[in-house]
Amino acid sequence: MVNEDDLRRRRVYVGLLAVASLIGAVVLLFYPGNDGVQGALVRVGLVMGAFWLALPTKTRPAAWKGMMSGWTAPGLIITALVIPRLKFMFPVLAIIVGIAYFARPRTRK
């Protein structure tokens, strides 16, 4: 298990990588012919920025901690595999579950 100091240090590294990728994409705006590299840098920067937001800070734990119960992920996977005609509904169900998770009432500490 990784301790909290390592996670915080990794959060800094991920943030720096996200910023560096986005700055590299902006710099490539001035050099034509690098559209593929620029697009890749933008995507990497945005994904790393999302990871940076999800990593823990001093005041809160990681965003994924306690996100799903032990039955949620296997249940969703089995449902998607067992009902092949409704596989197109899996992203819609995932969005509905995500909205329901964030819209639920919070308990105060």
Note the pLDDT tens digit of each residue in 1-46.
667 778 778 888 999 999 999 999 999 988 888 889 999 999 999 9
Please identify which residue in the block is written with the tokens 């710099």.
Answer: 27
pLDDT at residue 86 tops 90: no
Check residue 42 and give its pLDDT. Answer: 94
Q: Is the separation of the CB atoms in 18 and 52 below 8 Å?
A: yes
Whole-angstrom Cα distance, residue 82 to residue 17?
A: 40
What's the whole-model pTM score? 0.56
pLDDT at residue 67 tops 70: no
Position 45: which residue type?
Answer: G
Share above pLDDT 70 across residues of the chain, in percent, rounded to a whole number: 84
Whole-angstrom Cα distance, residue 66 to residue 109?
A: 16
pLDDT at residue 98 tops 70: yes
Position 44: which residue type?
Answer: V
Question: Domains of the chain: which residue ranges?
Answer: 1-65, 68-109
Which residues, 6+ apart, have CB-to-CB distance to 1 below 8 Å?
none
3-state secondary structure of 94: helix
3-state secondary structure of 1: coil
